[in-house]
Chain A
């Protein structure tokens, strides 16, 4: 099955911990994205990558980091600098960064600070 896989589905983080969210796609897509979703706020862009070994900050990149060492993988690390990390995190990919290409989403990771 082709698709985009996020893991884990649920993640609990202690104060001061870094955690990494996995995102893998086998669609051969060039572009990948990370969004954060909070109730009533829609989707906010954290980071995006148009090609391997290159990525750009989105609107709310502070406290997050990413890497894109392989085309298939775009992991997101939530660092201890992120003051309010509890949220639903969505990874997406698209064939290109073109203006008319749709995005495909993973099932999301719900992160909770305990």
Chain B
């Protein structure tokens, strides 16, 4: 089975500082990895995905993610955090089920950016 893990329930960072939200993966074959963001009482929004190629993937709202095969990690990063970045972040992979692949999510990491 394909899976992802988010080791931190919560990350706190001061506005203007760089932020990192961690994700590790366990997949067989080529990894295809995703990050989503959820604001309170809203659905998830797609941020970025890794398919193949560059290990640094750029996404929406200034976020990027670094893929590291040797560490089986796909950490989400942003050089300078904003208070408005405070939200719940989910790492995801598609797990095989029958003839298709189902979006499967980590438990989520709550990012709190302090003014």
Give A102 to B57 CA distance when docked, in angstroms: 15
Give B76-103 as 1s and 0s: 1 = Cβ < 8 Å from A's Cβ atoms.
0000000000000010101011111111
Contacts of B36 in A (CB 8 A): 103, 105
Give A56-100 as 1s and 0s: 1 = Cβ < 8 Å from B's Cβ atoms.
101000000000000000000000000000001010101011111
Residue of B whose beta carbon sits closest to that of A30: B100
B108 x A42 contact (CB < 8 A): yes
A40 x B107 contact (CB < 8 A): yes
- Say which size band chain B's interface belongs to: 20 to 34
Give A45 to B45 CA distance when docked, in angstroms: 17
Given A42-B108, A48-B102, A103 contacting B46 (CB threshold 8 A): yes
B42 x A42 contact (CB < 8 A): no
Contacts of A108 in B (CB 8 A): 41-43
Given A97-B100, A99-B94, A100-B32, A105 contacting B45 (CB threshold 8 A): yes
Given A41-B107, A42-B105, A99 contacting B43 (CB threshold 8 A): no
Contact of A31 among B32, B100, B104, B105 (CB under 8 A): B100
Pairs A–B under 8 Å by Cβ, sample size 18: A41-B107, A45-B102, A48-B97, A56-B97, A56-B98, A90-B44, A92-B103, A96-B100, A97-B99, A97-B101, A100-B32, A101-B94, A102-B34, A102-B49, A103-B46, A105-B36, A105-B44, A108-B41
Q: Tell me the B residues contacting A by CB distance below 8 Å.
A: 9, 32, 34, 36, 41-46, 49, 51, 90, 92, 94, 96-108
Q: Tell me the A residues contacting B by CB distance below 8 Å.
A: 4, 6, 31, 33, 40-43, 45, 48, 50, 56, 58, 88, 90, 92, 94, 96-108, 110
